[in-house]
Structure 1
Amino acid sequence: MNNILKHLLIFCLTISFFSCSLNRKFESNRKQTEANPWTHLNFKDQTKDFNFAIVSDNSGGRRPGVFEDAIQKLNKLKPDFVISVGDLIDTKDYKLDSSKFDDKLIKERWLEFNNITKQLKVPFFYVAGNNDIRNSKMETHWSKQFGATYYHFKYKTALFIVLNSEDKPGSKYGEISDHQMNWLKTILEENTSASWTFIFLHRPMWLYKNNQDWKKIEELTMNRKLTVFAGHHHTYSKATANGHNYYGLATTGGASSLKFEKGQFDHISWVSVSDSIPQISNILLNGIWGDNPSSLEKK
């Protein structure tokens, strides 16, 4: 019996040793002393921290190859996931009369776009823009492929909310229906413990004076830790209200003069969440290079 206990103890100690070795974050041939050739050993806690990326408009005069390039570069950067702010397919050549819309063309545009996002090695989250669901026929195509036009999800301790600013297709300043507003209120009430709330929508509704729907959203989110992202204007902007940051993103392949001084450029927004607090950086696509020198000649 003593031999069994002895062997069992040795086994447990061995497992414990290997477990500690596997969980060890840092090993060195140097012993820890007062003087070391490093600043500190407070490594980032991957169990709490995370990164995600945001892509912006790809329509209104799409420039082929730009969005595709962004997806390949995101695969190199390896965010936890990528989310959009709408206007994913180009409908510049569509007529507004829904009776004349070509279902075949709509399917082709979505097939082209979805074949690009399939190349991404991390999850991609869709957001509806005015060029994606500008009428009932396009809404039907959206619903068949993606289901909801507004939804939420939780990642780590953060809450992510995707709104549909196109509740009334053709609305100049965006609109949130009563049904969607009630849904938003319920989601917020059910997730009061979220460490941070991120909202994504296509139109930057806070820029439109006296937009009553956005005022309601501000009232609902008044006491939350919140950051909001939108697109639509193809020009980068930042606004602050109630202590919350609202970002209007530029483009990721959509129509643009590419005049940097006017806030027009192709980029991805990179969000690093550390200790539940987000830090936002913007990375220009032409500033991300691979390790092949020949790739630099194409810039």
Structure 2
Amino acid sequence: MKPYQLPEYLKITFKPLLGMLSILLFFSCKESTPFFIHDLTGEAKPWNKETFDNAPDKFSFIVHSDLTGGERPRIYDVAIAQMNLLRPEFIVNVGDLIEGGSPDSSSWKTQWDSFDFRANQAKAPVFYTGGNHDLTGNFAQGIWKMRRGKNYYHFLYQNTLFLILDSEDHGPERNNEIEQIRNEGISILNEKGEEAYAQSAYANLPERKWGNISESQRDYFLSVLEKNPKVKWTFILVHKPLWENPKPGRFAEIEEKLKGRNYTVFNGHTHTFRPMQRNGMDYINLATTGGGQNNSYGRSMDHFLWVTVDNSGVNIANLLMEGVLDKSGQIPAGGDTLVFEKK
């Protein structure tokens, strides 16, 4: 009796499968190389533990703050170089990325091109939050939409939720009014100085202090929170401190929805470092990463936050730019000649 032979069409079908099985068997027989190797024997060892801080759920990112509102040259270039030394998985910010200006200014493209060129030098992705310099008025928001797309959005990374808010979301009609008031205020500042500007309508505008969000933005984030109830942490990034509005607004409804979950809020705008606890959670107002400094309300320094997340919680390190040095002991990108804090 002749031995049974597979039909040719089955041989063609099985050949790739047999090849894959051979590869799998080869790798399963090989021993995996341990990540920690030593040649010491006995119980006594010159170290205290072998449980390395390398949990697969752990990741780190950087938060940086305002680089405009009186941008000081070269600071942000140094910040990008320092972030590249630290190698975070990604970078987020809290707005005021360009100076902005009136709609008749021809510098909008130049400003955004300059920021994009510098941000693109980062090894890690950079996620943008819009500030009042970036988004005041329908003209500015139109440019943002053309170049950036959505002015508020969310994303998930390793089961951690990031909500990026737009605190300049006043509605088209009010946007036009605020834009006009702002342009008048900037003219007063340029022509008559800071004392006159402090008395201007824009300097005392409620929206200038704590911003606003629309009903549609509120509903968007309420829906996002509803759909993501079991994330390990939630981060909110917004430019202006919406919660400082004395009249409970739409952000208060988002805060109500956040109850019962772990979250942290980062904001900018004041150019002053002001950490606080609210609802038992951290609300951290960053100072500057190149913007004009104001130490009348507290410490004003160039810095960024190094945030590490794992299943046990969140750790936040505050890194002063003047202390992030390269291997030669210098501030990278020629930063040794710069001043990073208004004393």
Regarding TM over 0.5, the answer is yes
Partner of 1:264: 300
The answer on 1:28 being equivalent to 2:38 is yes
For the aligned residues, what is the CA RMSD? Answer: 2.2
Whichever of the two has the greater Rg, that structure is: 2
Choose from 266, 271, 285 the match for 1:234. Answer: 271
Amino acid at match of 1:268: F
- Counterpart pick for 1:189 among 226, 235, 240: 226
User: Which residue does 1:3 correspond to in 2?
Assistant: none
Q: State the partner residue of 1:254.
A: 291
- 3-state DSSP of counterpart to 2:134: coil
Distance 1:294 1:72, change over 3 A: closer
- For residue 4 of structure 2, what is the aligned residue in structure 1? none
| Alpha-carbon distance in 1 for matches of 2:295, 2:78 | 16
In the alignment, what sits opposite 1:120? 122
Q: Which moved more, 1:207-216 or 1:115-124?
A: 207-216
Q: Indicate yes or no: 2:79 matched with 1:81.
A: no
User: 1:30 and 1:164, CA in 2 relative to 1: closer, same or farther beyond 3 A?
Assistant: same
For the Cα contact (< 8 Å) 2:62–2:92, is it kept in 1?
Answer: yes
Could you tell me whether the CA contact under 8 Å between 2:64 and 2:93 is conserved in 1?
yes
Paired-residue identity, %: 34
Residue aligned with 2:133, SS: coil
> Partner of 1:134 in structure 2?
136
**2:218–2:251 contact (8 Å) kept in structure 1:** no
2:17 match: none
Once residues 262 and 60 of structure 2 are traced to their aligned partners in structure 1, the CA distance between those partners, rounded to angstroms, is 18
Query: 215-224 or 127-136, which moves further after superposition?
Result: 215-224
Which sections of structure 2, spanning at least 5 residues, go unmatched?
A: 1-21, 179-206, 339-343
Structure 2 letter corresponding to 1:27: I
Q: Relative to structure 1, is the Cα distance of residues 74 and 11 closer, same or farther in structure 2, using a 3 angstrom cutoff?
A: closer
Range with bigger deviation, 266-275 or 167-176: 167-176
Shift of 1:294: 5.9
Q: Normalized against structure 2, the TM-score is what?
A: 0.76
With normalisation by structure 1, the TM-score equals 0.87
Correspondent of 2:249 among 190, 198, 212: 212
Aligned partner letter, 2:37: E
- When residues 297 and 133 of structure 1 are mapped into structure 2, their CA distance, relative to the original with a 3 A threshold, is closer
The verdict on how the C-alpha distance between 1:35 and 1:231 changes in structure 2, with shifts beyond 3 A counting, is same
Displacement after TM superposition at 1:244 (Å): 1.3
Instruction: Identify unmatched segments of 5+ residues in structure 1.
Output: 1-9
After TM superposition, the structure 1 stretch with the greater mean CA deviation from structure 2, 75-84 or 270-279, is 270-279
1:26 alignment partner, SS class: coil
Letter in 2 for 1:281: A
- Conserved? CA contact 1:237–1:247, under 8 Å: yes
Q: How many correspondences in the alignment?
A: 280
- Structure 2 counterpart SS, 1:58: coil
